């Protein structure tokens, strides 16, 4: 945009956009600038249409893959739980129970993890127990009770 005296302003110069407050000068947009502005507007419109098309295609692709994405999220959540359990076990200096091929479960020096975490805060150190579950005793469940949750074992 250029400012020219009102006497020289004409449509031959370009598009007259307005005048100054005193009316002596006019603001003129040269034809070259108008054409470039129109081209720029057309390019911006084309870009917006392409962006809309890309966004639509992406949403369609994501929608089509939503079942696989859900499975992936579920798998990641399961892995997160596994790693959290491993980190918790490491924090407590835990050990993985040994399970034999005959269904026998053996844990030496078992201590309830919650009681271990509370140690020194609300309670004294829990008493560890050795735990053995097997079909030889005909047991189907295990109840651990008593002081510290580690003093008395009942087979059911």
pLDDT tens digits, residue range 16-42? Answer: 778 887 878 888 888 788 788 889 999
149 vs 3: CA distance, rounded Å? 91
* CB of 110 closer than 8 Å to CB of 96: no
- DSSP letter at 141 equals -
pLDDT tens digits, residue range 30-74? Answer: 878 878 888 999 999 999 999 999 999 999 999 999 999 999 999
Q: Which residue in 138, 144, 141, 155 sits closest to 114, CA to CA? A: 144
């Amino acid at each position: 945009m250029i400012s020219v005296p009102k006497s020289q302003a004409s449509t031959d110069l370009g598009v007259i956009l307005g005048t100054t407050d005193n009316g002596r000068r006019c603001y003129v947009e040269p034809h070259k600038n108008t054409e470039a502005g129109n081209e720029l507007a057309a390019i911006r419109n084309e870009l917006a249409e392409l962006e809309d098309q890309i966004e639509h295609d992406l949403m369609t692709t994501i929608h089509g893959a939503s079942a696989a994405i859900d499975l992936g999220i579920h798998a990641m959540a399961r892995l997160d739980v596994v790693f959290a359990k491993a980190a918790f076990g490491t924090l407590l200096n835990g050990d993985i129970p040994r399970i034999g091929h005959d269904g026998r479960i053996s844990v030496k020096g078992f201590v309830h993890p919650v009681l271990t975490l509370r140690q020194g805060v609300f309670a004294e150190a829990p008493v560890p127990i050795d735990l053995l579950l097997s079909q030889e005793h005909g047991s189907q469940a295990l109840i651990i009770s008593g002081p510290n949750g580690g003093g008395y074992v009942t087979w059911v």
